[in-house]
């Protein structure tokens, strides 16, 4: 079993606190770094919330884990076995961060990026540590979704990849290995679905509320249990071939983002963060909605893990 005694997360943002809570639970001494003291204070609240979720999940807890917060990069990465970059999605910024990590982190440290789609080879370009730089893309919220995409760059060593996969498996998460492709696999699938969803709503084929119900119960419910390729086998390849032969021609191939989205962005309606996007919200709604969604995800994950455990023991 692969273990990392010390890790650092560079950039707290949206996902850093959840990632840190998972690593803490895995027995890793974890440092959360951010250049902004206010972001550190927000991260402390986020870590406490993530810890509470992990408690409700009855996630295994390994002794020795802890979390410390710092605005000192050198202190954060000193002695680290694993460093995870989670700064905004900007190639030049990430390259600067990795240059600093090469300077301050141990020469043996795995240097991972939580980028959701920037090629790892680009991030590692020109780095003397390109063999240690690898994509480690968590799914949001990271303390609830037990899957991490592992994306090696052109120069990433097999040893680093295998070691990281072993570590992820050690705390009960699923590691999926991919070759580099824009957006990586998870976001490509998601955005293909979202493109069709948005177009059908924009065309007036279905309301936004009915669309959400259709996808959650008609598609999402099944896909939580049956993978898409398993679903093709279940339905029959002949059926998929028959339907796909005419339906694929009618699916959206839009290369630009729909005006349903761009118009709202221009209006400043960005979603929950502005209390208005496709739907309208108020501050109380947002708090209650977050709690409800977390509770549902906890229940679904526990049910799936329980069933997998029962099957494994059969």
Domain annotation covers residue 218: yes
pLDDT of residue 311: 62
Give the residues across from 149 on adjacent strands. 137, 176
> Does 72 share its domain with 197?
no
> Does 104 share its domain with 239?
no
> Does 36 share its domain with 87?
yes
pLDDT of residue 251: 97
> Does 15 share its domain with 144?
yes
* Residues of the chain below pLDDT 70: 309-314
How is residue 264 annotated by DSSP? H
What is the spatial distance between Cα 157 and Cα 115, in angstroms, rounded to a whole number?
19
Query: Domain holding 50: CATH number?
Result: 3.40.50.720
pLDDT of residue 309: 66
Domain membership of residue 217 as a residue range: 185-281
> Does 177 share its domain with 204?
no
Count of domains observed in the chain: 2
What CA–CA distances, in Å, run from 303 to 53, 227, 297, 306, 313? 15, 17, 10, 5, 15
pLDDT of residue 1: 76
């Amino acid at each position: 079993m692969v273990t990392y005694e010390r890790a650092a997360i560079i950039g707290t943002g949206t996902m850093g606190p959840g990632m840190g809570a998972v690593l803490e639970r895995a027995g890793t001494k974890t440092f959360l770094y951010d250049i902004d003291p206010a972001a550190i204070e927000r991260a402390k609240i986020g870590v406490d919330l993530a810890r509470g979720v992990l408690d409700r999940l009855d996630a295994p807890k390994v002794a020795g884990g802890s979390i410390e917060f710092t605005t000192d990069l050198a202190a954060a990465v000193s002695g680290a076995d694993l460093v995870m970059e989670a700064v905004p999605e900007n190639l030049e910024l990430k390259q600067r961060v990795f240059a600093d990590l090469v300077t301050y982190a141990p020469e043996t440290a795995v240097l991972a990026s939580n980028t959701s789609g920037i090629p790892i080879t680009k991030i590692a370009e020109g780095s003397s540590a390109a063999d240690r730089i690898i994509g480690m893309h968590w799914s949001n919220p990271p303390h609830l979704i037990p899957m991490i995409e592992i994306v090696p760059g052109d120069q990433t060593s097999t040893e680093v990849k295998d070691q990281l996969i072993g570590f992820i498996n050690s705390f009960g998460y699923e590691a999926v290995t991919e070759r580099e492709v824009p957006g990586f696999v998870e976001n490509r699938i998601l955005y293909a679905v979202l493109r069709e969803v948005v177009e059908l709503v924009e065309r007036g084929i279905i309301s936004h509320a009915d669309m959400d119900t259709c996808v959650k119960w008609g598609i999402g419910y099944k896909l939580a249990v049956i993978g898409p390729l398993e679903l093709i086998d279940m339905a029959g390849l002949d059926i998929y071939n028959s339907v796909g032969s005419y339906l694929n021609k009618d699916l959206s191939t839009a290369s630009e983002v729909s005006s349903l989205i761009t118009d709202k962005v221009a209006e400043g309606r960005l979603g929950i963060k502005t209390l208005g996007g496709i739907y309208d919200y108020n501050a109380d709604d947002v708090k209650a909605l977050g709690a409800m969604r977390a509770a549902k995800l906890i229940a679904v994950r526990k049910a799936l893990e329980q069933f997998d455990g029962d099957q494994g023991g059969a």
